[in-house]
Each structure stands twice: as structure tokens, then as C-alpha cells.
Amino acid sequence: MLINVIAAPGLQVPLEGAPRQYITDSEAQPVADSAYYHRRIAAGELLLAGDSPAEHADAPDEPTTRTAKPRAKARTE
């Protein structure tokens, strides 16, 4: 299975198995759906080619994190 990716603006990302060939920010490229590219996407170095702000208009700008409420301190008498 292939995914289309493009490098984040200003970056060049080496192709898996061909470290002297690069994915650039000028054109999307189809690549294997592998752990290597998923790590690069998670790091922010690569973007899925279909991603654009218009597609995610309903998504929050900041990732939401849930935090646990602090517990009451135990009484020590």
C-alpha cells in the first residue's frame, strides 16, 4: 500500500533505502506505508499530501490532552 507524502516546508527527507534521494517540499511523492515514513510523519518532517487546513477546519488547532484531577491529600494524624 502506498501513501502520498510531502516534506514539511524547508525540509528534505531521505527516501527509505535510498539516503541520497530526497522527498522535498515542492511535490508530493507516493511512498510505501512503512514504519519509517510514519515516524517521519510523527516527527513533523513529512506531511500526508492530502492534509490541508481546509480539510481539518473542524479539528482543534491544539491537540487536546486530558489531565487527571489532583487527588485530595491524605490526612496524616
Q: What are phi and psi of 4, to 5 degrees?
A: -100, 125
pLDDT digits (tens, 9 = 90+) for 3-21: 999 999 999 999 999 999 9
- Do 22 and 14 contact (CB within 8 A), yes or no? yes
Whether pLDDT at 43 is above 50: yes
- Do 9 and 46 contact (CB within 8 A), yes or no? no
Question: Domain map of the chain by residue range?
Answer: 2-48
Whether pLDDT at 51 is above 90: no
Residue ranges in the chain assigned as alpha helix (H): 35-42
Q: 58 or 42, which is more confident?
A: 42
Whether pLDDT at 38 is above 50: yes
Q: What percent of the chain has pLDDT over 90?
A: 62
